[in-house]
């Protein structure tokens, strides 16, 4: 007996529609392409005089941020508002749990507000899976980043960016550079690139910033930046947290920049038309030189614009998946 | 009132790993004492139990259970409720780890014995704390605790980081020839982790606990055992790298034994897929290769015993995202069924598997139990080895935290006799 992998069982309806968006892993290529195509339809909304479409009118979206975030939270908020939803943002890092309320108690309280969607960021890997299993069936859960595990909307906006500039994924070589060990973004990007048919995904980092069994991530592992970046079409730089020096993972920002920081010189080893990406916020002079961040190959700012469209796509698809479940249930009761 | 059993168990398959006996025979208990095992016994006035098709084996000895006193911490159940669960699982003796209380005063020892005694289902044998409050700073009154009935000393899940303190603890324990239990773990290598540092943790983004967290500590502990000459039992070996160290220690004649928890013989890191918090245990489930190496080590005797590593938890302990859940599996209900499952799947040979939950752990702990010895108070279990049952339909432990809670497992215990008294009778 072969069961569908747990992650896809939870996040898809029986007929394969998205009802939660928790992880890219185990999703199909057509579904990911559907997300990108749907997002394409939303990119223009931001350019209109009235920046709204009515797809989520009458729906309530609750942003549950157990870990603080400015950027991701505000793009989700904006995405929900452009879909005409009512939006409530709770910075739980500073409220309920610090008063000793358990995550389950918090959820029960929020359900009582008749929310239709939870957008969740949590410091524990797997938290959105736990929440999706616990919430009433009508609530869609979107993962806005869990521990080191996944950040699927960030990965999909990166895929949108790559497709926008490269036309597709066939034959592409992509290098992801930096703190792979702690990066939920890298894990989701690797899954997405492999599913969408990239030729090769590489990760580049010193051994202290790679997980044990890094091969299991689905990428080729390099510890040398110049070798790893050779001939790639896309370079994705990851943010380096200051704490890494305190926990003896790196000697200094200076040495990291010298060995793994992206400079024009190192970028010279990539393909001449290679693009440079970064999920932000960037640390100039730590993982990326200003000359690259502000240079002609950088597409970092466009990533932000696409981020809103991709989040609108995922939110509208999950709500429609939930609605198809409700319709099916009503059918069952009718017969 | 005399509650000692007068019981004739007829035509069961009597398996006693200690003596090598395995044949169909009758077994007679008089006044609680096992008096005879043989063909066509007769006993006027004794209760007769027909055991055709059933196995009669020694009462199981569980070398590691974590229990709590009433109202203590996050635990479900207490000494009394879990003794009953043990009886229903065919277990007659269990080593209660020193984190119950903790066991650092004779008052706690008395309390545990009293609670267990009132329940009268299984012998709860306390292990004394090596250090006061398990805090790793001051020696506990080990000899006083041993004289009060503790069978060994140990640190439960709080291994000593400071090597000098550990050396002094071992020297003091060796003075009185006390058995020391070790759960080898280097706290600095474990810190913050919740899963084996391998392929699954890499993908799921779970902070890892490397195999060397165990083997680094085990190396140090073995060197200190050798230096102090103390008798040692190592608990819940989880990694294949540790096995070579245990083998080498035994080969050199050190007074060392070891056990493994039953769940490490059945599950590996892949059980964590989907963030299944019922598989969050310490030490963590390791790779498929480790699991096979552990099975091989049980088969060849490198690992002497299999324990339940029973940790009954309240439901709230698992109602959180994986890294925030409390590790542990409630194991008394499933120890014998899972051992039988391994035997059915030919992962372990029958006699060695039963030895590893009866005579071998009794030998490791230095207690007179785990065998069908005539002339002694009877400790035995009658089990229907092939009868499958849904575990949740008769779950006795206060903790339901088990990946096997709703599954079908072989081996239904029909009757348990503990210290000459019937402690469990299937309804």
Q: What percent of chain B shows pLDDT beyond 70?
A: 99
Cβ contact, residue pair B205, A187, below 8 Å: yes
| CATH ID of B7-56+376-425, from 2.70.98.30, 2.30.40.10, 3.40.190.10, 2.40.30.10 | 2.30.40.10
| pLDDT at residue A331, as a whole number | 67
The residues in A 107-126 lying below 8 A from B, measured between CB atoms, are: 122, 124-126
Binding residues of A for L-aspartate: 99, 184, 239
Measured between CB atoms, does B268 come within 8 Å of chain A? no
Residue A108 pLDDT grade (very low, low, confident, very high; cuts 50, 70, 90): confident
| pLDDT at residue B1, as a whole number | 44
The CA distance from B328 to A313, in Å, is 41
DSSP B135-188: -SSSB--HHHHHHTT--EEE-TT-----HHHHHHHHHHHHHTT-EEEE----HH
- Higher pLDDT: B291 or A243? It is B291
Q: Is the peptide bond before B283 cis (omega within 30 degrees of 0)?
A: yes
| CATH ID of B58-365, from 1.10.10.10, 3.30.300.30, 3.40.50.2000, 3.20.20.140 | 3.20.20.140
| pLDDT at residue A97, as a whole number | 54
Instruction: Give the start-to-end residue ranges of the domains of chain B.
Output: 7-56+376-425, 58-365
Residue A5, helix vs strand vs coil: coil
Both tokens of A306, joined, read 């696409």
pLDDT at A3 over 60: no
Question: Best residue in A212, A214, A217 to probe B by mutation, most B CBs within 10 Å?
Answer: A212
Cβ contact, residue pair B321, A104, below 8 Å: no
Residues 6+ apart with CB under 8 A from A120: A64, A65, A66, A127, A128, A131, A141, A142, A143, A144, A146
The CA distance from B20 to A43, in Å, is 77
Cβ contact, residue pair B321, A213, below 8 Å: no
Cβ contact, residue pair A212, B324, below 8 Å: no
Cβ contact, residue pair A126, B197, below 8 Å: no
Measured between CB atoms, does A221 come within 8 Å of chain B? no
Nearest to B199 among A127, A148, A216 (CB): A216
Measured between CB atoms, does B199 come within 8 Å of chain A? yes
Shortest CA distance from B188: residue in chain A: A247
Taking contacts as CB-CB distances below 8 angstroms, the residues of chain B near A134 are 319
Ordered alpha helix ranges (H), chain A: 6-11, 29-43, 71-82, 103-111, 127-134, 152-166, 184-196, 225-229, 243-246, 253-260, 264-267, 290-293, 300-334
Question: Could you tell me how many CB contacts below 8 A there are between chain A and chain B?
Answer: 86
DSSP A56: T
pLDDT beneath 70: ranges in chain B: 1-2
| pLDDT at residue A62, as a whole number | 94
Binding residues of A for carbamoyl phosphate: 71-72, 121, 151, 154, 280-281
Q: Cα B344 from chain centroid?
A: 21
CA terminus-to-terminus distance, chain B: 23
Cα angle for residues A46, A49, A53 (degrees, 5° grid):
60
Cβ contact, residue pair A127, B321, below 8 Å: yes
| pLDDT at residue B16, as a whole number | 98
Residue A307 pLDDT grade (very low, low, confident, very high; cuts 50, 70, 90): very high
Question: Best residue in B269, B275, B318 to probe A by mutation, most A CBs within 10 Å?
Answer: B275
| pLDDT at residue A29, as a whole number | 97
Distance from CA of B39 to the nearest CA of A (A): 46
pLDDT at A94 over 80: no
- Higher pLDDT: B6 or A104? It is B6
Q: What is the pLDDT of residues A128-141, one digit of tens each?
A: 999 999 888 889 99
Both tokens of A252, joined, read 């200094």
Measured between CB atoms, does B279 come within 8 Å of chain A? no
Distance from CA of B401 to the nearest CA of A (A): 16
Taking contacts as CB-CB distances below 8 angstroms, the residues of chain A near B277 are 130
The residues in B 304-333 lying below 8 A from A, measured between CB atoms, are: 316, 319-324
Taking contacts as CB-CB distances below 8 angstroms, the residues of chain A near B316 are 102, 104
Q: Is A128 left (phi over 0), alpha (psi -120 to 50) or beta?
A: alpha
Residue A100 pLDDT grade (very low, low, confident, very high; cuts 50, 70, 90): low
| pLDDT at residue A333, as a whole number | 59
Taking contacts as CB-CB distances below 8 angstroms, the residues of chain A near B324 are 103, 124
- Higher pLDDT: B2 or A65? It is A65
The CA distance from B25 to B36, in Å, is 10
DSSP B175-204: HTT-EEEE----HHHHTT--EETTHHHHHH
| pLDDT at residue B316, as a whole number | 87
Distance from CA of A122 to the nearest CA of B (A): 9
Residue A107 pLDDT grade (very low, low, confident, very high; cuts 50, 70, 90): confident
Taking contacts as CB-CB distances below 8 angstroms, the residues of chain A near B197 are 211-213
pLDDT at A2 over 80: no
| pLDDT at residue A1, as a whole number | 36
Average pLDDT over chain A reads 91
Q: What is the pLDDT of residues A225-240, one digit of tens each?
A: 999 999 999 999 999 9
Verdict on whether the full-model pTM lies above 0.90: yes
Q: Which domains does chain A have, with CATH numbers?
A: 6-151+305-334 (3.40.50.1370), 152-303 (3.40.50.1370)
The CA distance from A169 to A305, in Å, is 21
* Partners of A143 in beta bridges: A120
Cβ contact, residue pair B202, A217, below 8 Å: yes
Q: Cα B15 from chain centroid?
A: 20
- Higher pLDDT: A259 or A6? It is A259
């Amino acid at each position: 007996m072969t069961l569908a992998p747990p992650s896809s069982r939870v996040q898809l309806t029986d007929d394969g529609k998205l009802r939660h968006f928790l992880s890219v892993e185990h999703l199909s290529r057509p579904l990911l392409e559907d997300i990108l195509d749907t997002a394409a339809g939303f990119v223009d909304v931001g350019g209109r005089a009235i920046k709204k479409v009515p797809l989520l009118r009458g729906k309530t979206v609750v942003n549950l941020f157990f870990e603080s975030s400015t950027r991701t939270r505000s793009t989700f908020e904006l995405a929900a508002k452009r879909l005409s939803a009512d939006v409530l943002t709770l910075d739980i890092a500073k409220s309920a749990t610090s008063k000793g309320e358990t995550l389950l108690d918090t959820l029960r309280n929020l359900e009582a507000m008749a929310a239709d969607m939870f957008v969740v960021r949590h410091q524990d890997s797997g938290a959105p899976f736990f929440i999706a299993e616990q919430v009433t069936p009508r609530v869609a859960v979107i993962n806005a980043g869990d521990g080191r595990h996944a950040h699927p909307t960030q990965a999909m906006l990166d895929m949108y960016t790559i497709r926008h500039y490269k036309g597709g994924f066939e034959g592409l070589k992509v290098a992801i550079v930096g703190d792979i060990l702690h990066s939920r973004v890298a894990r989701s990007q690797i899954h997405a690139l492999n599913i969408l048919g990239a030729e090769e995904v590489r990760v580049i980092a010193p051994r202290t910033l790679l997980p044990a069994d890094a091969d299991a991530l689905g990428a080729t592992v390099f510890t040398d930046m110049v070798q790893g970046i050779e001939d790639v079409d896309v370079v994705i730089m990851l943010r380096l947290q200051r704490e890494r020096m305190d926990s003896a993972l790196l000697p200094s920002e200076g040495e990291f920049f010298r060995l793994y920081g992206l400079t024009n010189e190192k970028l010279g080893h990539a393909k001449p038309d290679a693009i440079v990406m970064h999920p932000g916020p960037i640390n100039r002079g730590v993982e990326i030189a200003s000359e690259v961040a502000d240079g002609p190959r950088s597409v970092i700012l466009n990533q932000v614009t696409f981020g809103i469209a991709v989040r609108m796509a995922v939110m509208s698809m999950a709500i429609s998946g939930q609605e198809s479940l409700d319709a099916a249930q009503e059918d069952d009761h009718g017969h | 009132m005399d509650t000692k059993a007068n019981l004739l168990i007829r035509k069961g398959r009597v398996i006693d790993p200690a003596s090598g006996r395995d044949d169909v025979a009758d077994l007679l208990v008089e006044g609680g004492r096992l008096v005879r095992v043989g063909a066509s016994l007769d006993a006027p006035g004794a209760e007769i139990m027909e055991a055709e098709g059933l196995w009669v084996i020694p009462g199981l000895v569980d070398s590691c259970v974590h229990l709590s006193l009433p109202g203590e911490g996050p635990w479900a159940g207490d000494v009394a409720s879990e003794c009953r669960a043990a009886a229903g699982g065919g277990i007659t003796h269990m080593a209660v780890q020193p984190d119950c209380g903790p066991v650092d005063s004779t008052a706690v020892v008395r309390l545990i014995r009293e609670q267990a005694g009132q329940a009268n289902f299984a012998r709860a044998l306390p292990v004394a704390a090596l250090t006061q409050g398990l805090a790793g700073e001051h020696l506990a009154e080990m000899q006083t605790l041993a004289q009060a009935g503790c069978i060994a000393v140990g640190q439960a899940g709080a291994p000593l980081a400071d090597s000098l303190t550990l050396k002094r603890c071992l020297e003091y324990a060796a003075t009185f020839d006390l058995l020391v239990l070790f759960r080898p773990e280097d706290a600095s290598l474990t810190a913050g982790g919740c899963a084996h540092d391998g392929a699954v943790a890499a993908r799921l983004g779970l902070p890892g606990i490397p195999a060397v967290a165990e083997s680094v500590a085990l190396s140090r502990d073995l060197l200190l055992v050798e230096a102090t000459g103390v008798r040692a039992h190592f608990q819940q070996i989880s990694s294949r790298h540790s096995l070579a160290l245990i083998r080498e220690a035994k080969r050199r004649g050190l007074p060392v034994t070891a056990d493994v928890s039953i769940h490490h013989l059945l599950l590996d890191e892949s059980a964590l897929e989907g963030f299944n918090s019922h598989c969050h245990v310490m030490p963590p489930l390791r790779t498929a290769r480790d699991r096979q190496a552990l099975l091989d080590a049980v088969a060849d005797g490198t690992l002497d015993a299999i324990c339940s590593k029973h940790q009954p938890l309240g439901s709230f302990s698992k109602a959180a995202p994986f890294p925030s859940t409390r590790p542990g599996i409630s194991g008394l209900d499933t120890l014998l069924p899972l051992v039988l499952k391994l035997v059915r799947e030919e992962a372990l040979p029958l006699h060695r598997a039963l030895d590893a939950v009866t005579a071998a752990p009794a030998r490791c702990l230095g207690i007179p139990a785990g065998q069908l010895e005539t002339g002694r108070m009877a400790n035995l279990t009658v089990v229907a080895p092939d009868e499958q049952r849904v575990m949740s339909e008769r779950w006795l432990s206060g903790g339901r935290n088990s990946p096997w809670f709703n599954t079908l497992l072989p081996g239904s215990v029909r009757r348990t006799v503990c210290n000459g008294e019937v402690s469990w009778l299937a309804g």
